[in-house]
A and B are shown apart, each in its own frame.
Chain A
């Protein structure tokens, strides 16, 4: 009898540890309220959609998302959120980060907490150098900027460019990346125009007039995704720059899918470089966009932020499977480094040296098709790495 009871307890105990191993806690920090709420929703939906579509890939484990609002880009609230996810919730993996300042502020805690941390948006290039546990599934500002410089010279055959940028670090990053590769390929940046801060949408007319007066072949613009982009397109059309033969180009932030249709015909002719837009023609993306519309309504459309969340969750599921539900940070980093995935943005992988994403960059032109603005791919660069870390420029050089 006693033997039986002992055996029963042994079975129960092993069941309990087994059940414990089944659940992996992922601590998600996103700005669910305030000006970033729109972005947080896209990343959040991307993560949830992956889990919904791939329930069988997650089995036999379950992934529990513990969500925390980081409220603003100030750093302090994000830091507390990450701290508490680690010390109170004992999460196995961290994920999220829309704003670069928050990822930068969190870095020492991530390092001290020793957990895998998946960045799903924040794009300042050197962030992944700041903690050995940071892995990025979104992009670096250099991905699109650097590729665009090269493509402007080689595909668009332009020799002169003016750069207009929103005067904050992503804008400066984008300018530096574009200028470096464009001038290396034989082009010349003839003017650099800072166009106000990121806080409010300025009147772009004087900046654009200055660019127009310089008569460049292309006008490269970096502004934050969202309302800035809509104003850029409007001003470009109003000043008749297209008629003057100046092509408006930029990273895909200015043709964010969620804003593109609202821009309407004014957006036609825009040439952008980015790793994702909803019109990409590949089977994974078709499935992704269809599932997105089914889940969130016919008018909803995913964009590059949504894909950052979707692919980030794919990476997390891969790690959980590879480590059989016991997520140890050092082993997780090993598992991450070998990861390859057929993403809606095409094939992606994680660079084993920098822990940053390697992906295709697509050169696209906005055209009208079936009464809507359609992004037509006119060029592609395969397996692009973050050039800032590749070439060890400025803060991207390892310390």
Chain B
């Protein structure tokens, strides 16, 4: 899509979309503020941040490239087990390098499975992603001398971060800040990616997979790269989860985790950079506090909310907010990192 008359214009349009908006530092200020305001909730906060990172990786494949997957926890689990097995068997426990390794292993599994899976679409793809995850889970169960099986690997001896900051089990201050920084870096990466021509071509593939080869986009390769990158980020999310909890078990590879993150993304709004943030926070905060108040019946409240969102806000909470905002201020265009359904330039 390079040689056409509006090339320069397109570049400007892309660059303009990439600019940092005034409100964008806000989530990060809130996240830092949370650290100081709620020191007793940091364990929960850390879990939320990890989940946001995981949801972000799913958003890349599902929201941007339109790859429908129910098995994304496979990469989360692979990353978690990479960190867990290396630490537990006394091979390597330095946090930063083992986290990088978790990302690499996640990406490798993503590439390997993606090359096969991405030849299919729709329901077949959905089932195959689910199968991949189930196979990995069963492999983890069978190799219990390495993985600890159903009971998992406990009390992982993770070395202090940068050789200085201990991971305290009771007051996870180090974990929280560590996850926040990693989330920020991954977010910047994903943000850059989706606003790049590569990211635009992903949106194009999602919107019309038959037309993209016609404009010369190598669809299978683009999808495989996207799937690999997303798997790498999911691997990092899993690895950091294992480090923060000093623990890993088969639950990291389970359908429960894969399905929940899908629901979160739908709740927040997929194909929007901040959908992962809004969805994960809304889902987890609601379920956390509802389950505190009603330990036996909290799922009813959450279920009702999901029904309402599914009925009245197809694009999730962010989509709803955007619609309301547009109606209020028709004159001023607004972009919350939403997918571009129209081509950025006038038709050729």
Does the CB pair B47–A80 fall under 8 Å? yes
Segment at the interface with A among B98-106, B124-132, B176-184, B289-297: B289-297
Q: Quick one: closest A residue to B150, CB to CB?
A: A168
Does the CB pair A87–B245 fall under 8 Å? no
Given known A73-B251, A76-B251, contact A169–B40 (CB-CB < 8 A): no
In Å, the complex CA distance between A244 and B246 comes to: 51
Does the CB pair B40–A72 fall under 8 Å? no
Task: Give residues 85-136 of B contacting A (CB, 8 Å).
Answer: none
Q: Quick one: closest B residue to A196, CB to CB?
A: B138
Cross-chain contact of B291 among A33, A37, A41, A105 (Cβ < 8 A): A33
Residues on the B chain within 8 Å of A68, using CB: 291-292, 295
Q: Quick one: closest A residue to B288, CB to CB?
A: A80
Report B304 CB to chain A, min CB distance, Å: 15
Does the CB pair B141–A76 fall under 8 Å? no
Does the CB pair B241–A76 fall under 8 Å? yes
Report A306 CB to chain B, min CB distance, Å: 16
In Å, the complex CA distance between A168 and B140 comes to: 11
Asked whether any CB of chain A lies closer than 8 Å to the CB of B339, the reply is: no
Residues on the B chain within 8 Å of A391, using CB: none
Cross-chain contact of A33 among B138, B144, B241, B298 (Cβ < 8 A): B298
In Å, the complex CA distance between A285 and B202 comes to: 66
- Interface centre among B246, B251, B298, by most chain A C-beta atoms within 10 angstroms, is B251
Asked whether any CB of chain B lies closer than 8 Å to the CB of A67, the reply is: yes
In Å, the complex CA distance between A4 and B307 comes to: 64
Does the CB pair A169–B44 fall under 8 Å? no
Given known A75-B245, A79-B43, A87-B40, contact A130–B170 (CB-CB < 8 A): no
In Å, the complex CA distance between A108 and B150 comes to: 18
Residues on the A chain within 8 Å of B40, using CB: 84, 87-88
Given known A75-B247, A169-B150, contact A197–B291 (CB-CB < 8 A): no
Task: Give residues 150-186 of A contacting B (CB, 8 Å).
Answer: 167-170, 172
Report B37 CB to chain A, min CB distance, Å: 14
Asked whether any CB of chain A lies closer than 8 Å to the CB of B169, the reply is: yes
Report A322 CB to chain B, min CB distance, Å: 26
Residues on the A chain within 8 Å of B256, using CB: 72, 74
| Chain B window 169-208, contacts with chain A (Cβ cutoff 8 Å), 1 for yes, 0 for no | 1111000000000000000000000000000000000000
Does the CB pair A87–B149 fall under 8 Å? no
In Å, the complex CA distance between A68 and B149 comes to: 26
In Å, the complex CA distance between A112 and B292 comes to: 23
In Å, the complex CA distance between A83 and B256 comes to: 22
Report A128 CB to chain B, min CB distance, Å: 13
Asked whether any CB of chain A lies closer than 8 Å to the CB of B323, the reply is: no
- Interface centre among A101, A111, A112, by most chain B C-beta atoms within 10 angstroms, is A101
Does the CB pair B149–A169 fall under 8 Å? yes
In Å, the complex CA distance between A255 and B171 comes to: 43
| Chain A window 48-88, contacts with chain B (Cβ cutoff 8 Å), 1 for yes, 0 for no | 00000000000000000001110111111001100110111
Cross-chain contact of B155 among A32, A41, A108, A113 (Cβ < 8 A): A108
In Å, the complex CA distance between A33 and B294 comes to: 10
In Å, the complex CA distance between A80 and B244 comes to: 12
Does the CB pair B254–A74 fall under 8 Å? yes
In Å, the complex CA distance between A42 and B194 comes to: 50
Does the CB pair A112–B170 fall under 8 Å? yes
Given known A68-B292, A80-B44, contact A74–B257 (CB-CB < 8 A): yes
In Å, the complex CA distance between A107 and B247 comes to: 10
Residues on the B chain within 8 Å of A112, using CB: 168-170
Task: Give residues 239-254 of B contacting A (CB, 8 Å).
Answer: 241, 245-247, 249-252, 254
Task: Give residues 35-92 of B contacting A (CB, 8 Å).
Answer: 40-41, 43-44, 47
Does the CB pair B138–A86 fall under 8 Å? no
Asked whether any CB of chain B lies closer than 8 Å to the CB of A140, the reply is: no
Asked whether any CB of chain B lies closer than 8 Å to the CB of A248, the reply is: no
In Å, the complex CA distance between A83 and B41 comes to: 9
Report A269 CB to chain B, min CB distance, Å: 31
| Chain A window 108-130, contacts with chain B (Cβ cutoff 8 Å), 1 for yes, 0 for no | 11011100000000001000001
| Chain A window 363-397, contacts with chain B (Cβ cutoff 8 Å), 1 for yes, 0 for no | 00000000000000000000000000000000000
Does the CB pair A37–B154 fall under 8 Å? no
Given known A168-B149, A197-B138, contact A72–B251 (CB-CB < 8 A): yes
Report B40 CB to chain A, min CB distance, Å: 5
Residues on the B chain within 8 Å of A130, using CB: 154-155
Report A173 CB to chain B, min CB distance, Å: 10
Does the CB pair A69–B155 fall under 8 Å? no
Residues on the B chain within 8 Å of A80, using CB: 43-44, 47
Does the CB pair B249–A168 fall under 8 Å? no
Residues on the B chain within 8 Å of A69, using CB: 291, 295-296, 298
Does the CB pair A87–B44 fall under 8 Å? no
| Chain A window 222-253, contacts with chain B (Cβ cutoff 8 Å), 1 for yes, 0 for no | 00000000000000000000000000000000
In Å, the complex CA distance between A74 and B251 comes to: 5
Residues of B bordering A, CB below 8 Å: 40-41, 43-44, 47, 138, 141-142, 144, 149-152, 154-155, 168-172, 241, 245-247, 249-252, 254, 256-257, 291-292, 295-299
**Pairs across A and B, CB under 8 Å, 25 listed:** A30-B295, A33-B291, A37-B296, A41-B296, A69-B291, A69-B296, A72-B251, A72-B256, A73-B249, A74-B249, A74-B252, A74-B254, A75-B247, A75-B249, A75-B251, A84-B41, A87-B40, A87-B43, A101-B151, A101-B250, A105-B152, A108-B155, A109-B170, A168-B149, A197-B141
Extra contacts, 15 of them, besides A75-B247, A75-B251, A109-B170 (Cβ < 8 A), are A32-B291, A33-B298, A37-B296, A68-B291, A69-B296, A74-B249, A80-B43, A84-B44, A88-B40, A88-B41, A101-B150, A101-B249, A169-B150, A170-B150, A172-B144
